[in-house]
Amino acid sequence: MKTIDQNIFKSYDIRGIVDTQLNTSIVFEIARAIGTETQLRQRKNIIVARDARLSSPELAKAAIEGLRSTGCDVTDIGEVPTPVLYFATNTLGIDSGIMITGSHNPANYNGIKMVLAGETLANQKIQALYTRIQNQDFLNGAGSYCEKPILDAYLNHIVEHIHLPRRLKVVIDCGNGVASVIAPQLFKALGCDVIELFCECDGRFPNHHPDPSVPKNLETLIETVLKNKADVGFAFDGDGDRLGVVTNQGEIIWPDRLMMLFAKDVLSRHPNAPIVYDVKCSKHLITWIKQHGGQATMAQTGHSLIKARMREIESPLAGEMSGHIFFQDRWFGSDDGVYSAARLLEILAQSSKSLSTICQALPNSTNTPEIKIAIPEEQKFSFIETFKRETTFFDAELITIDGLRVEYPNGWGLIRASNTTSHLILRFEADTVSALEKIQSIFKEQILKVNDQLSIPF
């Protein structure tokens, strides 16, 4: 067996560079560990799905062989978005599944997201897979294999539950990711006029990188919305579990502001419910949730960590600044960019106002998108620990549930280690531009005090 790089075992999935850190033999070994863990949870059946990356069919085949070698019976649902795998684990009577996906990483990456017995694996439970592989501690068996198409069931389920009182013109940008196999059909089935951008699966991502949290990746979407006088524009990431939104006026609506619309809607049916948001979200979201009768609950960033927190406190809604939106209200508690877009259309269609007008009524202040600072993979977590230990922030409240969020009366700043790339992630928000710049300058000084070799873009 080839030595496996432990760095691919991330906080909430497995991810690495194909042919360097991840190949068929490595995926086979990982699948043996997953298959063993599945059966130790008293499960024998498991679903396998894959995204549209060039390496995904081959890696999915290796995963299926690895799972079957432990005695697991595999149901293959083919090339679908990650949320469709989650849908399958909630509707097929099989609550375990794996997704072969590199999510929003560059085209030469791939990985595995895992749900075992209804739980999305995270942290130590992912590290335990590595330990099992190192010990070659596997069950042996000969599991069965079958294929089951599921896209029609997914589409029909949404169409049965989402009704739009008026016809909307929608631009969708799938970024050549796997959302291409369902998004155009779904929005047409909902009665929308649909304009498609890059809705052909192409694992090379030739038009732009499929990450809607980066403004540059939304430029064509914005142009197309304005040109066609569309009501809204949607962008999906590589595996379809994240959503980017552009208004009819071409404004980007960041997910924490989008969460305000969803929270108001959900809280109208679930008064006093806890709404979960990650550490990167606006302070206005916290106030908004409380004003609309909900309990604002901050959590660590990470789709599996958010899902665990939702389950723990029975939250009907959660969201991350990266664009993962999770509905337990009328859905399954999983992050689904396509379903979240349908829920936004429902809100928009019930109003006579444009999305731009609706969003203008939401509280806002000066803020930045995610800012990324490159740092060697092996240094990012130790940097954060040193930063928390050795820096000083006066007259501020410090929140340490995920990196360090420093809150001042007039704004806040955040620094944390990315769990998926070799970066530090920062975000800032303040009441005024001058206050924002002041907080950024304090952070810059403190960062350089810990490591003066880092290149800081502010």
Residue 424 belongs to domain with CATH number: 3.30.310.50
Residue 262, token pair as written in the block:
């969803």
State whether the Cα torsion 200-202-205-210 is positive or negative: positive
* Half-sphere exposure at residue 85, Cβ-oriented, CA atoms within 13 angstroms: 32
Question: Do 11 and 37 lie in a common domain?
Answer: yes
Question: Do 340 and 378 lie in a common domain?
Answer: no
More confident residue, 370 or 71: 71
Question: Do 88 and 45 lie in a common domain?
Answer: yes
Whether residue 156 lies inside any domain: the answer is no
Query: 103, 315, 340, 418: which one is catalytic?
Result: 103
CA neighbor of 96 nearest in space, from 61, 47, 141: 47
More confident residue, 303 or 83: 83
pLDDT of residue 1: 54
pLDDT of residue 369: 85
pLDDT of residue 2: 60
Whether residue 456 lies inside any domain: the answer is no
Whether residue 243 lies inside any domain: the answer is yes
What is the pLDDT confidence band of residue 370, given thresholds at 50, 70 and 90? confident
Instruction: Domain count for the chain, please give it.
Output: 3
Average pLDDT over residues 201-215: 95
What is the pLDDT confidence band of residue 353, given thresholds at 50, 70 and 90? very high
Average pLDDT over residues 331-355: 98
Question: Do 293 and 416 lie in a common domain?
Answer: no
Domain boundary among 360, 381, 404: 360
Question: Do 208 and 320 lie in a common domain?
Answer: yes
Average pLDDT over residues 399-409: 97
Torsions phi, psi of 114, nearest 5? Answer: -135, 135
**Percent above pLDDT 90 for the chain:** 95
Question: Do 36 and 98 lie in a common domain?
Answer: yes
The secondary element (H helix, E strand) that includes residue 219 is helix 219-228
In the block, tokens 């050549």 appear at 176
CATH of the domain at 98: 3.40.120.10
Q: CB count, 10 Å around CB of 194?
A: 20
Average pLDDT over residues 435-445: 97
Whether residue 158 lies inside any domain: the answer is no
Torsions phi, psi of 411, nearest 5? Answer: 160, -175
Non-local (6+) Cβ contacts of 181 within 8 A are 52, 79, 80, 81, 151, 201
Mean pLDDT across the chain, nearest whole number?
Answer: 96
Tell me whether strands 73-79 and 145-147 are parallel, antiparallel or unpaired.
parallel
Question: Do 108 and 223 lie in a common domain?
Answer: no
Question: Do 221 and 108 lie in a common domain?
Answer: no
**Percent above pLDDT 70 for the chain:** 100
Structural domain including 65 reads 6-150
Question: Do 190 and 297 lie in a common domain?
Answer: yes
Whether residue 159 lies inside any domain: the answer is no
69 is catalytic: no
Whether residue 63 lies inside any domain: the answer is yes
What is the pLDDT confidence band of residue 11, given thresholds at 50, 70 and 90? confident
Question: Do 376 and 295 lie in a common domain?
Answer: no
Average pLDDT over residues 113-118: 96
Question: Do 145 and 191 lie in a common domain?
Answer: no
Whether residue 209 lies inside any domain: the answer is yes
pLDDT tens digit string along 408-428? 999 999 999 998 888 999 999
pLDDT tens digit string along 226-285? 999 999 999 999 999 999 999 999 999 999 999 999 999 999 999 999 999 999 999 999
145: region left, alpha or beta (phi > 0 left; psi from -120 to 50 alpha) = beta
Question: Do 192 and 335 lie in a common domain?
Answer: yes
Average pLDDT over residues 390-414: 96
Single-letter code of the amino acid located at 398: L
In the block, tokens 């030739």 appear at 206
Whether residue 458 lies inside any domain: the answer is no
